[in-house]
Amino acid sequence: MFVVAHISDLHFNGTEYNRRRNEITVDYLNRCADGIDVLLITGDIADTGSPDQYREFLATIRTPLPTIATIGNHDHLPTYLDIVGRPENSVFDVAARAGDSGDLRIVAVDSSLPDSSSGLITDDTLDFIDTRIREVSSSTRILLAFHHPPVILHMPVMDVIRQTGEKRLADLVRSHPNIVGLVCGHAHTAAVTSFAGKPLCLAPGVSSTLKLPFEGAGVIDPTQPPSVAFHLLDDDRLATHFRVATGE
């Protein structure tokens, strides 16, 4: 079984409030580290994309876990690459353990657009995904990761800034049967739905939780604690568990 710890929407902004929520989250993950294969971060690492916010991220998210990350609409790619030094599109390979029928490859890509809150996976990025899938064995399970959900979530404030052009992504997903699921963030809510016949799982926001329309006035629910998603892959089936990140 492979275990992917998934967090999103950290929104480092220099405040003690956001930093503390991130500290609690990483402390919780580090206590579980022996059972986790990789930490995945799906964007909005910074709140405005300033250098200090990425330095705060590097100083706070300290973990022994191998980590793969991509960016979101609040991030600034040139600054992210300068400070963090990781490509916006990348892969992470997890070797098969005894009893597993194949390896796992996580393909994490940038769905953000310059000067826009909405998302789009460009044709070049689709080509990147396709190439990274075709270069491994068909027995290798693929988990796709990006920031913007490509579906309506019935959250009006987020649905207007979701990922568009999704039919192209759906066609790619259908062409690769070894894709076991897709994961993202952006909506600051723990949610599970489907896309192109595959599970689509959203990590809750570390920095905040956004309300559904029937949960009362306002957009942000300040009573909700930081949370994480654990994606467990056994054979070709993906199971996702959500947990509140608690302090010791």
Residues 8, 184: Cα–Cα separation, whole Å: 8
209-210/220-221 β-pairing: antiparallel
pLDDT tens digits for range 110-137: 999 999 999 999 999 999 999 999 999 9
Lookup result for tokens 């994480």: 228
pLDDT in tens, 183-199: 999 999 999 999 999 99
| pLDDT of res. 36 | 96
Which class for 189: exposed (0-12), middle (13-18), buried (19 or more C-beta within 10 A)? buried
Phi, psi of 167 (to 5 degrees): -60, -35
Count other Cβ atoms within 10 Å, centred on residue 242. 16
How far is 136 from 17, CA to CA, in rounded Å?
43
| Mean pLDDT across 132-145 | 95
Looking at the DSSP bridge assignments, the partners of residue 221 are 209
- The length of the chain is 248
Crossing angle of helices 16-31 and 51-60, rounded to 10°: 30
Which residue, among 58, 54, 74, 106, has the nearest Cα to 233 in the 3D structure? 106
Backbone angles phi and psi of 77, in degrees to 5: -55, -50
Considering the chain, what percentage of its residues have pLDDT values greater than 90? 91
**222: closest CA among 205, 240, 237, 209?**
209
Q: Are 238 and 232 in contact (CB under 8 A)?
A: yes
- What average pLDDT does range 16-42 have in this prediction? 97
Task: Name the average pLDDT for the chain.
Answer: 95
Average pLDDT over residues 28-45: 97
Beta bridge partners of 106: 92, 143
Write the Ramachandran bin of 14: left for phi over 0, alpha for psi from -120 to 50, otherwise beta.
left
Please provide the CATH number assigned to the domain covering 2-244. 3.60.21.10
What would the pLDDT profile of 72-125 be if each residue is shown by its tens digit? 999 999 999 999 998 989 999 987 655 555 799 999 999 999 999 999 999 999
In angstroms, the CA 49 to CA 35 distance is: 32
Domain boundaries, the chain: 2-244
